[in-house]
Structure formats: C-alpha cells, structure tokens
Amino acid sequence: MSERNIIAIVDQRSPATLRSPWPLPQIPASISAPSGLLSDGLGRPLRDLRISVTDRCNFRCSYCMPKEVFDKNHQFLPQTALLSFEEIVRLAGLFVAHGVHKVRLTGGEPLLRKHLERLIELLSAMRTPDGTPLDLTLTTNGSLLTRKAASLKAAGLNRVTVSLDAMNDAIFRRMNDVDFPVADVLAGIEAAVAAGLGPIKVNMVVKRGTNEQEIVPMARYFRDHYDGRVVLRFIEYMDVGATNGWRMDEVMPSAEVQRLIDAQFPLEPIDPTQVGETAERWRYRDGGGEVGFISSVTQAFCGDCNRARLSTEGQLYLCLFAQQGHDLRSLLRQPHPDGRPYTDDEIAAAIGLIWQQRNDRYSQLRASQPADSASPSGRRIEMSYIGG
Ligand code: SAM
C-alpha cells in the first residue's frame, strides 16, 4: 500500500460546454500591430512559448501525475476541448509577432498527440519578424522516441529534451510507476542523437530519499557515452500542482547535487548562453561536457523570466505557479459581440495587454515563505495540464 501523502486534484479545467466559464480576455480600446518589443510590468520581454498539446501521459511519475489521482476514473480533457493544430498555429503566430522566438511543445506526453509531426511542420515554417526560423523544441519522457525521432526531425523539429530520473532500472520503473524500462528511454535518446535532434538535454528531477543515489551514475553515463553531445540537467523537485504531496525535506538543493558531482568529476561554472535561461551551466574541467542546474526552489529566478505557457485547452498562463489562466481559446471560438469572429489583431492586442499587465514573481515570493510550506494555498495548476 502506498504511503504517499496525496491531495485530491482541484479541477480548474472547463467543462466541455460551448460557452466558457472563464472571463473573456480584455481587448484594448486602441489596437496597434505587435511590435515585437513587448515588455511586462517588470520590464521582462516575451521570448519563449511553451505549448501543451495533451494532458495525457503514459507515465505516472509520483511527483507529477500520481497514479492514485490520475487513475482510470480520471477525466482527461475531451478532444473538443483541446486546441486544434490550426488554433495552436494561429496563436503561435501572434506570439511570434510579439517577440517569441522559441517554442517548446510539451504536455502531458506530447508524443501521444496524434499526428504531432503535422503541427511541427506548420510551426517550423513560421518565421520571426526578422525572417529567422523558430527555435523549435519538445520535452518528452522518451518512451516513444525510438519510433518517432526520425519523423520529428524530418518534420522540422530542431531539438529534444528528454526527462530521465534514474539509470537504475528498478528505481526508474518505480518512479515512472508504469514499469517502463530505462533501456527503452536510453535507446530513445540514442535515436534522437542519431536523427540530429541535438544538442539534446536530459532532465533529471532529484527527489531526496528517492533517486539521489542516481546523480553520479547519470553524470557518468552521459559523460562516457556522449562526449559533450548530451547536456544533463538536474531539476529541484518543485511544489507545482496540488497532487504530489510535496515536502521541502524531499527537495535536494542544486548546490548539494553540484558538490556531489564535483567530488567525482571536477566542475567549473560557465556563462549563460541567453538571458532568461532556466539552468545554471557548469562544465567538467577535463573537457567531458557540461551539466546544468535548475534551482527553482532554492534560487528562484523570476527576474528575467520571459516564458509564457499555453495550456492544452488554450489558457495562457504566465507562470507555473499561477493560479489562473487567460482564456485565449474563447477568443478563437466565440464570436465578437458584433457576431463576427475576433480578428488576429484583436487577439494579438489581448495577448499584448495580458503580458503588459504581468507583474508576477511567484517563485521569489515563495522563497520568502517558511521552508516547509508549499506555494500559497488555493488553486494550483497541475504540471501535466499546464505543460512543464
Ligand atoms: N511528458 C514530458 C516529459 O516527461 O518530459 C513533458 C511534460 S513533463 C510535465 C515536463 C517536465 O516536468 C519533466 O521533466 C518532469 O520531470 C518535470 N516535472 C514534473 N513535475 C515536477 C515537479 N514537481 N518538480 C520538478 N519537475 C517536475
């Protein structure tokens, strides 16, 4: 019997009704074309859009979609609630006009979305206002990568990030909670390298008491096998959502992870490649490649956050810890009070206004709370819904 401290899910999704229960985003009185120079109330630009393409996943990682909550009775979103590819592409185009140049597909498990390659083809044809193709990437649990790496690349995907929490097969099977073997994910990573979906990142969530013994074996494996072509990143276990029973004592601070690796394979810090980068970068002093640390709990990094998230059903979230989204889907599906559809300019203006009014810094505020408390109580969004 599991002893996990599970809290029932608070469902914030829309019922599958035609009329949305959420307020319609405001359309500004005066509409001007996006300049690509949008900035929020704290001066942060909009550069990075994460799009969740499904709320379903074939894994049941206890820290993300615990089996006890996401069981056979769990109601996933109906097909009609999901944004269609045409709707995603329309919105993505408006975000790109506002300055987005990086798009990450996520979920749920994005590779479960049927015909995803078609969406990738459409997104990869898109250009920023200065004519540059998007940096188009995808986060996956790797389970379907051996089958899909070549077709994803052919469709125009640039890179992938693969989530993998252990090298040890028994620990990995326990963590994904569907008995999925680690060898199949490793084969998926190999297939992605062979298909040219690099530089590949591998993300390991470290949960104290569960997989910290895997830190050094993971570092060793990717050093030995990939000679710098795969960047391993360690993620602090975050208090996202309300179902994983998060506890501060299960968070292993990045500083501790870094010391463990450094003792085996000496490290030195390197500069970030771009503003707003989530990971702090370090490299092996012997030239064996680099590793990253994503310290969203112990070193919150809201100051240069340039990311927006589009949920599977078209809600725009400005933060993983946001308690409410902005209902862009209704602007796509509901008529304007005049009876006509909303125009691109109107929807772009609504997005612009939402971003300009943004002044959140949830992670930093969280950091000032008592160490054993999760983020402010109330409505908290599940990672599988909003996309990681
Ligand atoms: N299914 C895909 C995957 O496994 O990468 C994409 C979605 S998943 C929600 C995205 C990432 O979020 C994964 O790397 C996962 O490990 C991470 N994640 C989920 N819950 C987390 C938590 N509570 N703390 C830290 N990372 C988490």
Side by side, which strands form the sheet with 159-163?
Answer: 267-269, 280-284, 290-294, 230-236, 200-206, 159-163, 135-140, 102-106, 48-52, 307-310, 315-317, 326-327
Question: Cβ(64) to ligand 1 under 6 A?
Answer: yes
Ligand 1 atom showing the smallest separation from residue 109 Cα: 1
Interval between CA 388 and ligand 1 midpoint (Å): 5
Position 11 confidence tier, pLDDT thresholds 50, 70, 90: low
Question: Cβ(164) to ligand 1 under 6 A?
Answer: no
What's the pTM? 0.93
Cα 230 vs. chain centroid, distance in angstroms? 19
- Cα angle 335, 340, 343; round to 5: 90
Position 241 confidence tier, pLDDT thresholds 50, 70, 90: confident
Q: What digits encode the pLDDT tens for the residues 142-197?
A: 999 999 999 999 999 999 999 999 999 999 999 999 999 999 999 999 999 999 99
- 338: CB partners within 8 A, 6+ apart: none
Does the pLDDT at position 372 exceed 60?
no
The DSSP element (H or E) to which 185 belongs, if any, is: helix 182-195
Position 2 confidence tier, pLDDT thresholds 50, 70, 90: very low
The pLDDT assigned to 189 comes to 98
Distance of alpha carbon 73 from alpha carbon 86, whole angstroms: 30
Position 377 confidence tier, pLDDT thresholds 50, 70, 90: very low
Distance of alpha carbon 70 from alpha carbon 92, whole angstroms: 29
Indicate the residue type of 106.
Answer: T
For 60-69, 297-306, 332-341, 346-355, which range has the lowest pLDDT when averaged over its residues?
A: 297-306
Distance of alpha carbon 46 from alpha carbon 100, whole angstroms: 6
- 275: CB partners within 8 A, 6+ apart: 304, 306
Interval between CA 142 and ligand 1 midpoint (Å): 12
Question: Cβ(111) to ligand 1 under 6 A?
Answer: no
Average pLDDT over residues 278-305: 92
Residue that the structure tokens 């985003």 belong to: 25
385 CB-side CA count, 13 A: 30
Cα 72 vs. chain centroid, distance in angstroms? 25
Residue nearest ligand 1's atom 13 by CA: 163
Position 242 confidence tier, pLDDT thresholds 50, 70, 90: confident
Question: Cβ(109) to ligand 1 under 6 A?
Answer: yes
The DSSP element (H or E) to which 360 belongs, if any, is: none
Interval between CA 60 and ligand 1 midpoint (Å): 11
Interval between CA 205 and ligand 1 midpoint (Å): 8
Helix 344-356, helix 85-97: angle, nearest 10:
60
What percentage of the chain carries pLDDT values higher than 70?
A: 91
